[in-house]
Amino acid sequence: MRRLFPPPGADTDPGDLTDRQWSLDELADLYAYPPYPGEGRGWLRANMVSSLDGAAHHEGRSQPLSGEGDMRIFGVLRALADVIVVGAETVRQEGYRGAKARRAFAERRRAAGQTPAAAMAVVTASMELDFSSPLFTTPVTPTLVLTGAGAPQDRVRAARAAGAEVLLAGEGTGVDPARVPGLLAERGLWRQLSEGGPRLLGQLSAAGALDEACLTWAPRLALGDAPRIMDGPSVDVPVDLTLVSLLEEAGFLFSRYRRS
């Protein structure tokens, strides 16, 4: 893995520019969250992988687009987060489980006042989730479910009985995406990571809730009819982002952008 951006400067570590294995600590430092943004405010970053031709999955899974370096960064971003916000369809399609507590990050998380692993926060209107799955029965940190006030009450009860905390973040059955970062930040979960999928991410982005995008470009073509990494109606004016860093490994590009 080597750093392509920022370009070399007077204070550049030459080791960053040569192709070598980056330690988990180095990656964690590079992707560290900014300082606490203040009471009731979160920092929401997204992490997604795309094929070069823009597919966000291949036959319903993101794994065929991913690679070793991508999985390493995926793991680091999880290890830095307080909470992972994910759409229910990704949970169903990818068989999501809770985030793991990893020894390599234990000290860093303890020092930051974090639980041993990030909580999952599943966004759903239907509440059609398998509450007997490990995501709900054996997470390291209890799973949250974000839904609307009009969600099916029997399913809300089933989620709570399974140990999940259900947060109401909308007036109808749906969640108001603009409310998500604040609602989680109020619970102390301000380091936020969204792992998609495209429909949820499209809404978070359109609502102006996204602060940062960590996007992996896989050196692969997938074709097909998979959506792009954000799916939804077009915005009135395209949103500008600023490139923060760019890494490369085995032809994969690992980009990090912030809202300008």
Ligand X SMILES: NC(=O)c1ccc[n+]([C@@H]2O[C@H](COP(=O)([O-])OP(=O)(O)OC[C@H]3O[C@@H](n4cnc5c(N)ncnc54)[C@H](OP(=O)(O)O)[C@@H]3O)[C@@H](O)[C@H]2O)c1
**Contacting residues toward ligand X, per CB under 6 A:** 48-49, 56-57, 60-62, 87-90, 93-94, 123-126, 128, 174-175, 177, 195-200, 203, 229, 231
Measured from the CB atom, the residue of 15 and 60 that comes closer to ligand X is: 60
Measured from the CB atom, the residue of 109 and 120 that comes closer to ligand X is: 120
Return the percent helix, strand and coil in the chain, to nearest 5.
30, 25, 50
Measured from the CB atom, the residue of 116 and 152 that comes closer to ligand X is: 152
Measured from the CB atom, the residue of 203 and 205 that comes closer to ligand X is: 203
Q: How far is the CB of 3 from ligand X (least distance, A)?
A: 22
Q: In what order do the strands lie in the sheet with 144-147?
A: 2-5, 241-249, 252-259, 212-218, 43-51, 191-194, 83-87, 119-123, 144-147, 165-168
Measured from the CB atom, the residue of 112 and 223 that comes closer to ligand X is: 223
168: Cα within 13 Å, side-chain hemisphere: 10
The helix/strand/coil state of 58 is: strand
**In the block, which residue shows the tokens 């990090």?**
256
Measured from the CB atom, the residue of 94 and 186 that comes closer to ligand X is: 94
Q: How far is the CB of 64 from ligand X (least distance, A)?
A: 10
Q: How far is the CB of 177 from ligand X (least distance, A)?
A: 5
Q: How far is the CB of 112 from ligand X (least distance, A)?
A: 25
CA–CA distance, 57 with 63 (Å, rounded to integer): 8
Q: How far is the CB of 29 from ligand X (least distance, A)?
A: 23
Dihedral (CA of 87, 92, 93, 97) sign: positive
Q: How far is the CB of 251 from ligand X (least distance, A)?
A: 17
Measured from the CB atom, the residue of 27 and 214 that comes closer to ligand X is: 214
Q: How far is the CB of 249 from ligand X (least distance, A)?
A: 17
Burial of 106 (0-12, 13-18, 19+ CB in 10 A): middle
Count of Cβ atoms closer than 10 Å to residue 143 Cβ = 27
CA–CA distance, 15 with 125 (Å, rounded to integer): 48
